A and B are shown apart, each in its own frame.
Chain A
């Protein structure tokens, strides 16, 4: 019953949540700070940025979208979306030439996973920002 009521809530206007969501993508934790959740925003920023920087320091590779067989497309396009979700961290590291070619080695592989996971965690932060901006969550 409660879920039915929740589902019937009208979609809030875009202007209410779009700026916070965009900032949340661009700067991890930025959306929370814009919505005056500074502590949570700082925690998210620290965790996601640290994970991304660790990935770079482990010489992880950035994914590029590739076509081919299904698995290649899935892994590379999914990885690219994950990388891109880190926002300014991804854009800066590509612009400044920190994106590494894919190299063999366990540590490089950990780094690649760290980079993608940082982006995926930022997607979670963006969803949380959306919930806060639309008052579905405090």
Chain B
């Protein structure tokens, strides 16, 4: 398969792993945060931790949009399904995320009209083919998915669709990184920068991380070789005492980003003064809402939203895991009360959530004695 197999070539991966071991100074401990949940998933999926020397520690960042959404927003979104005329649509990732009264799938099992869509455009199509129903799209995601929501809203307006609404939960990555760097317990050496987000925003918004915070950041692709090469680039910067923004994912990411996507976002959305992130609290200017000129499509204005605030279960330590202060398996509930099948926190639901990835791919490996493939 082109653009995949080249980046999973065993021989090249082995070489890269050797180079990483050569570059890693045995007297140092390296704490690298991969910001993006897609990277977290790939690291576990491909068993990359097995290839790294023990003094390179990968810390999982907050770049999983489902995971950072507070439970109250899920309840708010699901409250709209009380109106039997509403069709609730969301990406598949959202479907098993628990609200206080159950996940969207549990609402569906109880009779609510809940449907999975693969893009906001599918939700718009659904609205057009069901003109007597209200179709609500539960929008989530960073700058990766926000442009498609924006373009869908522009299309809805151009086509005069009157029964399509967006419940906007889009968030932006830079304020979250700032919050992590300002957190007192944070001791990070460098970042693996998000790949998909950067295809939209480019590399420039990260400059302050290198200049002001003095931390190297390398924007990375998602295949094993991409991630290993990015780790190599980070190690070289750290060894040289440099702090720069570098782009490993050149085949997809341009320095200035995707101008058309950025313009669509700017036309449709404006920053919210504050937005709550699960485990991280309220972060200023960290989320998007619809501009006034799109008010007719704004589910928060069209429906009565209770504005529920729910504190996470006390024992759950999603916040500490989200900010990298705890490893997934160090949470009190991990693998006991909280499993992918019966999740307490969203980190255990989404494929990009570090707890789900750790649970699925890693945690029983502890008992492993033989590593070398025999076949």
Q: Do A and B originate from a single complex?
A: no
